[in-house]
Amino acid sequence: MKKVFGYLAIAALVTAVACGNGDAEKEKARLDSLRQDSVKQVEQAEMEKAAAAAQAQADSLKKVHEADSMKAAADAAAKAEADAAAAKKTPAKKAPAKKEEAKVEEKKVNKGRSGATGVKK
For 10-63, write each residue's pLDDT tens digit: 988 888 777 766 677 788 899 999 999 999 999 999 999 999 999 999 999 999
In a domain? residue 35: yes
78 domain residue, yes or no: yes
Q: Over 90: is that where the pLDDT of 100 sits?
A: no
Helix ranges, 1-121 (H): 2-20, 22-89, 98-117
Identify whether 17 is part of a domain: no
Full-model pTM: 0.41
Tell me if 114 sits within 8 A of 121, measured CB to CB.
yes
Q: What is the pLDDT of residue 1?
A: 79
Residue 1: inside a domain: no
Residue 7 lies inside a defined structural domain of this protein: no
Amino acid identity for residue 14 in this structure: V
**Domains contained in the chain, number:** 1
The answer to whether residue 93 is domain-embedded is yes
110 in any annotated domain: yes
Domain that holds residue 65: 22-114
Average pLDDT estimate for 86-100: 64
Inside any domain, residue 15: no
Nearby residues of 120 by Cβ (< 8 Å), 6 or more positions away:
114
Q: What is the pLDDT of residues 57-82, one digit of tens each?
A: 999 999 999 988 888 888 888 888 88
Residue 34 and residue 23: Cα distance in Å, rounded? 17
